[in-house]
Structure formats: C-alpha cells, structure tokens
C-alpha cells in the first residue's frame, strides 16, 4: 500500500498510523460572554510541538486574543507585522515583557486563532508563530515566553470585551 492513500478494508499498520502528522488532543467549546477560556491538559508529553486552532466564534469588540501558559503572567515577548485593508499602511506592534502574548483576534463577525506552540511542555522557553485577522487589518507574527518551565495548559484572554461560541482545538505534531 502507498500512504497517505488508504483503501477500504485495509489493515492500519502501526508504523503507518504513527506517521500521521497531526493528532487531535483536545476540543473545547467556548461559552457565551467570557473574557477568558482556560484549556487544561492540552500539552501532553506525547508531542513536542502543538497547533491551537480557534474558529466559529465572535468577539464583542474588535480586539486581540492573547495567550498565557499555565498561570504564568509575565515574560511574554512578541512582534507582528501586517496591513490595514483600507490604506495598505503597516500594522506593526509588539509585546515587550507583557503579561500575555497576542496570538489572534477578531470582532463580532468572527474570531480566530491559528498558532503553533513549540515545546511548551519542556523546561525551556516556549516559542510561538501566529496570525490574526481583524475588522480593519490582518497580521502575522511570532513570540516567546521567556521562562524555562513546563506547562500542560493555557488560557486564551480577550484584549477587550468578551468572546462567545466557537471551538478551541489543540493538535499535536507527530514527532
């Protein structure tokens, strides 16, 4: 057999299944009118690197969605670059030793996060890459949590107002 194409009735061999790239670890439905959502037991030791996807939700204000690892509320550094739709002018910003890291955003028409998280479950610094889509602009960026500690969970926080609905899914990248 030639993977990744499977045939009906085929035996799923361990070496083939263990090569599947992404594994859904956790799926968390977001409630209504919450300013933060904590997702526990997400960064399992089965994986080194993870992807967080949030979609199908909304925000009461056009603003960011930010992350904290565990209960750690310091030492977040990041930067982003993008453009405002109307003018094409730059949307540039940064987090410099802040209490949370911007990793996405949205507004009342839709909110999203698409963020890769590198080795949050190891006693080393954690790095992030992300993008954000807002009512007036879009950005891409990267960042770091400069604390050499291991975490199994995270919290998504709104920069302003609240978030409602949608699902936060956490995937592990196969090693």
Partner 1 sequence: MTRPNIQIDDEVREMTEEEYADLLASGWTPDEAPATDA
Contact positions toward partner 1, by CB under 8 A?
Answer: 28-40, 60-62, 73, 99-100, 107-109, 135, 157-162
Q: Which of 48, 52, 172 is nearest to 112 (CA)?
A: 52
C-beta closer to partner 1: residue 19 or 146: 146
C-beta closer to partner 1: residue 128 or 134: 134
Report, in Å, the least distance between residue 94 CB and partner 1. Answer: 14
147, HSE (Cβ side, Cα atoms, 13 Å): 19
| Residue pair 68/154 in contact by the 8 Å Cβ criterion | yes
Report, in Å, the least distance between residue 105 CB and partner 1. Answer: 11
C-beta closer to partner 1: residue 165 or 173: 165
C-beta closer to partner 1: residue 100 or 121: 100
Report, in Å, the least distance between residue 73 CB and partner 1. Answer: 7
C-beta closer to partner 1: residue 28 or 174: 28
Report, in Å, the least distance between residue 106 CB and partner 1. Answer: 9
Q: Which of 114, 124, 125 is nearest to 156 (CA)?
A: 114
Report, in Å, the least distance between residue 19 CB and partner 1. Answer: 31
């Amino acid at each position: 057999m030639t993977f990744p194409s499977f045939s009906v009735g085929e035996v799923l061999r361990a070496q083939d299944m263990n090569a599947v790239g992404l594994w859904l670890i956790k799926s968390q439905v977001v409630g209504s009118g919450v300013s933060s959502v904590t997702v526990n037991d997400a960064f399992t030791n089965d994986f080194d690197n993870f992807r967080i996807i949030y979609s199908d939700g909304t925000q009461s204000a056009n603003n960011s969605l930010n992350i904290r690892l565990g209960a750690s509320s310091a030492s977040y550094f990041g930067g982003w670059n993008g453009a405002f739709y109307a003018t094409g002018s730059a949307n540039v910003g940064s987090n410099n030793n802040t209490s949370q890291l911007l990793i996405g955003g949205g507004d009342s028409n839709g909110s999203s996060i698409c963020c890769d998280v590198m080795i949050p479950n190891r006693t080393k610094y954690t790095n992030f890459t992300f993008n954000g889509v807002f009512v007036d602009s879009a950005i891409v960026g990267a960042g770091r949590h400069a604390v050499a500690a291991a975490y199994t969970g995270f919290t998504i926080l709104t920069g302003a107002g609240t978030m409602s609905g949608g699902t936060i899914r956490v995937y592990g990248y196969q090693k």
